[in-house]
Chain A
Amino acid sequence: MPARRHFLASVGTTTVAALTAGCSGRINESESDTTEQASQQSTTVSPTETGASIPTRENTLPLPLSPSALREAAQSGGPEKDGIPSIDNPTFVSSDKTEILDPGDPVLGVVHNGITKAYPQAILVLHEIVNDTFGDENITVTYCPLTGTAQGFDRGETTFGVSGRLINNNLVMYDRATETWWPQMLATAIPGPWNESPTIHSLTPIRVTWTTWKQWKQRHPDTRVLSTQTGYAKNYGRDPYGSYNPLRGYYADERLLFPALHQDDRYPKKTIVHGARTPEGAAAFHKESLRQAGVLSGTIDELSVIAVYDPELDTGYVYENPEEMTVTRDQEQGQVIAPDGSRHDPSSLPLTRVYSFDAMWFAWAGYYPETAVYAND
């Protein structure tokens, strides 16, 4: 395995190893959308100078370059720090009171702590970060329009903001406790001008599902929806980049606003892949192939994994599959059948789930240049 991919795994592991005693074990079955976090979240908390804390993963995720090289690769997107304002006091309305969503409009869905929320892409495209609370847990929901990536993170006692910098066209967040830069897709600290030598570790992920309003509402009729009363005077009817419903503008064509970190022409740039990465490496599943096949197999480093498609939400889930279990899809029921004949929802196979999310191909390949890609033949 290339050295650079593993560059940080040992660094982060060493840093937090002393604090990880008692970290949670793996949970193999759950109906929650957040199953995978149990396998990846540690109880590690990074104390900061301000007294706030940011929960981080047990093992650091791979970086494509050294942290300092990534800092050098950062470029201004135009706005200054917080020029794109995060939503820090979000308010929500019930699903029948939302005024901005058409059935086919994209939403970012989160189920956590027994609470279900939908974040319209139309709002997130103008804010990129929502510092929210799910019960007694502080969560930040993030979205980068230029890479089409949505991820959630446990934010502890701090909040995240938009730095105004981009790497690989991808949002660089910063936390307001330590002012550390966190490239969104990498979810890992890198040095920046406001914190020259942060501890290099990765954030604890929270599952965010990219789906349509119609599909999310069908699955979760009691969902709450982020309100347009954000505290800012914005036009949430205008996406400056184009549209997902119907698909047009930046989201549909081959042009990028900024150079990619690494060029890979295996697929058109804006092709959607469902990607998963662990400290050992990365794998991507061609989304359209996954949609058609229902189940795709692959490996991350030497570990077998399978990706399962959920037709109700048009999303995927990736599982570790060390026994190389063969599962099949029941197309009519939308379920997955295990070798013993047991049936499971795509989100709750009796395997360990790996955190995964949709991304535009150029962004995934830019950050994980040695990624394997699995598609339907």
Chain B
Amino acid sequence: MTERSQEQSTDATDAIDTTDTDRRWRKSISVINSLLQWASVTVHAIRHRRRLGLLVSIVGSIYFGLYLWGIGHLAPGLGGWGLTVVSNPLATFTTPALGPFSYRPIARLQIGAFTYLFSFNSVIGLALAILVGMNVAGSVLLWRQPTTCGLRGASGGILAGVPGLISGTACCGPIILLVVGVQASGVIITAFELLVPAAIGILTISLVVIGRQIEQIP
């Protein structure tokens, strides 16, 4: 084989590789697009039903409160009233604290017997709360359909939110281990680091599944 023909062969192989890569990318984007569309179907369906919107608000608020309680950012405190803000809030807002997906609070709000700590975890908690609320509302929507439709509201919405609730860590180790009496190990510590992304992932997938089922409603 001459040098020229070798070069041509290499170019052709590269072109095939590039085409394969492009195809894979296009396929991935298409899958993501479909997933988002199904998720948006759920959101759309809930938005057009006021009662379900109210349900999202109620469930989300409860979950948000439980999440903050679980990570220790809403708890009984020293009492009194007051607001304390750290000296460099913007830089502190994204400073990691007790582990991955745990951030340093930038403000302390003392509200009588309770103390609320505001951190990036409040944003994460809010996102989780909306996802949990949507899951519950979507499940209710499916559950209320006539059985002849063959649809079931089998969303794991609330259960999928549990990992987020137990993701709180103390100074040295996950708080929940103190409750269940299990000793921490490297595996458990790593598992706890994955709780928040796991919760977000499961809740999003659940929302997609609900969306697919809602699409089948006549």
Are A237 and B171 in contact, with the CB atoms below 8 A? no
Asked if B172 is at the interface (CB within 8 A of a chain A CB), the reply is yes
Q: What is the CA–CA distance of A166 and B99 in the complex, to the nearest angstrom? A: 14
Chain B: CB-nearest residue to A125: B171
Assuming the contacts A78-B192, A255-B181, asked whether A234 and B117 have C-beta atoms less than 8 A apart, the reply is yes
Are A78 and B189 in contact, with the CB atoms below 8 A? yes
Assuming the contacts A77-B172, A78-B192, A256-B183, asked whether A237 and B78 have C-beta atoms less than 8 A apart, the reply is yes
The total of interchain contacts (Cβ-Cβ below 8 angstroms) comes to 119
- B190 to chain A minimum Cβ distance, whole angstroms, is 9
- B81 to chain A minimum Cβ distance, whole angstroms, is 12
Q: What is the CA–CA distance of A289 and B157 in the complex, to the nearest angstrom? A: 55
User: Using an 8 Å CB-CB cutoff, how does the interface string of A148-180 with B read, 1 for contact, 0 for none?
Assistant: 000000000000000000100101000000000
Asked if B29 is at the interface (CB within 8 A of a chain A CB), the reply is no
Are A100 and B97 in contact, with the CB atoms below 8 A? no
Instruction: Say whether chain A's binding surface is mostly helix, strand, loop, or mixed.
Output: loop
Asked if A322 is at the interface (CB within 8 A of a chain B CB), the reply is no
Q: Which of A100, A126, A236, A256 contacts B171 (CB 8 A)?
A: A126
Asked if A228 is at the interface (CB within 8 A of a chain B CB), the reply is yes
Name which of B49-57, B102-110, B144-152 contacts chain A.
B102-110
Asked if B75 is at the interface (CB within 8 A of a chain A CB), the reply is yes
**Residues of B close to A241: CB separation below 8 A:** 170-171, 178
Are B172 and A99 in contact, with the CB atoms below 8 A? no
Interface centre among A75, A128, A233, A242 (most CB of B within 10 A): A233
Q: Which of B75, B108, B171 contacts A128 (CB 8 A)?
A: B171
Q: Which of B104, B107, B169, B183 contacts A258 (CB 8 A)?
A: B183
**Residues of B close to A235: CB separation below 8 A:** 72-73, 75, 77-78, 108, 115, 117
User: Using an 8 Å CB-CB cutoff, how does the interface string of B6-28 with A read, 1 for contact, 0 for none?
Assistant: 00000000000000000000000
Are A99 and B108 in contact, with the CB atoms below 8 A? no
Are B169 and A78 in contact, with the CB atoms below 8 A? yes
Chain B: CB-nearest residue to A127: B171
- A247 to chain B minimum Cβ distance, whole angstroms, is 15
Name which of A7-15, A80-88, A270-278, A293-301 contacts chain B.
A80-88
**Residues of A close to B174: CB separation below 8 A:** 78
Are B78 and A228 in contact, with the CB atoms below 8 A? yes
Chain B: CB-nearest residue to A260: B183
Assuming the contacts A235-B72, A256-B183, asked whether A79 and B171 have C-beta atoms less than 8 A apart, the reply is yes
**Residues of A close to B192: CB separation below 8 A:** 78
Are B178 and A257 in contact, with the CB atoms below 8 A? yes
Chain B: CB-nearest residue to A81: B96
Asked if B45 is at the interface (CB within 8 A of a chain A CB), the reply is no
Chain B: CB-nearest residue to A257: B173
Asked if B123 is at the interface (CB within 8 A of a chain A CB), the reply is no
**Residues of A close to B87: CB separation below 8 A:** 231
Asked if B84 is at the interface (CB within 8 A of a chain A CB), the reply is yes
Q: What is the CA–CA distance of A80 and B96 in the complex, to the nearest angstrom? A: 8
Chain B: CB-nearest residue to A128: B171
**Residues of B close to A231: CB separation below 8 A:** 86-87
Asked if B62 is at the interface (CB within 8 A of a chain A CB), the reply is no
Q: Count residues of chain B with CB under 8 A from any CB of chain A.
A: 43
Asked if A250 is at the interface (CB within 8 A of a chain B CB), the reply is yes
Are A76 and B186 in contact, with the CB atoms below 8 A? yes
Asked if A145 is at the interface (CB within 8 A of a chain B CB), the reply is yes
Are A255 and B171 in contact, with the CB atoms below 8 A? no
Are A79 and B169 in contact, with the CB atoms below 8 A? yes
Asked if B79 is at the interface (CB within 8 A of a chain A CB), the reply is yes
Assuming the contacts A78-B192, A238-B72, A240-B72, asked whether A83 and B173 have C-beta atoms less than 8 A apart, the reply is no
- B21 to chain A minimum Cβ distance, whole angstroms, is 36
Are B77 and A233 in contact, with the CB atoms below 8 A? no
User: Using an 8 Å CB-CB cutoff, how does the interface string of B187-205 with A read, 1 for contact, 0 for none?
Assistant: 0010011000000000000
Are B173 and A258 in contact, with the CB atoms below 8 A? yes
Are B184 and A232 in contact, with the CB atoms below 8 A? no
Asked if A185 is at the interface (CB within 8 A of a chain B CB), the reply is no
Which residues in chain A, 323-357, are within 8 Å of chain B measured between CB atoms? Answer: none
Are B181 and A100 in contact, with the CB atoms below 8 A? no
- B61 to chain A minimum Cβ distance, whole angstroms, is 21
**Residues of B close to A256: CB separation below 8 A:** 183
**Residues of A close to B118: CB separation below 8 A:** 233
Q: What is the CA–CA distance of A77 and B102 in the complex, to the nearest angstrom? A: 14
Are A238 and B85 in contact, with the CB atoms below 8 A? no
Asked if B217 is at the interface (CB within 8 A of a chain A CB), the reply is no
User: Using an 8 Å CB-CB cutoff, how does the interface string of A55-82 with B read, 1 for contact, 0 for none?
Assistant: 0000000000000000000011111100
Q: What is the CA–CA distance of A257 and B170 in the complex, to the nearest angstrom? A: 11
- B11 to chain A minimum Cβ distance, whole angstroms, is 47
Asked if A259 is at the interface (CB within 8 A of a chain B CB), the reply is yes
**Residues of B close to A84: CB separation below 8 A:** 98, 171-172
Q: What is the CA–CA distance of A257 and B177 in the complex, to the nearest angstrom? A: 7
Asked if B175 is at the interface (CB within 8 A of a chain A CB), the reply is yes
Asked if A249 is at the interface (CB within 8 A of a chain B CB), the reply is yes
Q: Could you list 8 A-B pairs, sorted by A, with CB under 8 Å?
A: A83-B97, A100-B78, A231-B86, A236-B78, A237-B79, A240-B175, A256-B183, A259-B183
Other A-B contacts than A233-B105, A235-B115, A237-B75, 11 sampled, CB-CB below 8 A, are A79-B172, A84-B98, A146-B172, A232-B105, A233-B108, A233-B119, A235-B78, A235-B108, A235-B117, A238-B77, A241-B178
Return the 3 tightest CB-CB contacts between A and B, nearest first: A240-B170, A77-B172, A237-B77
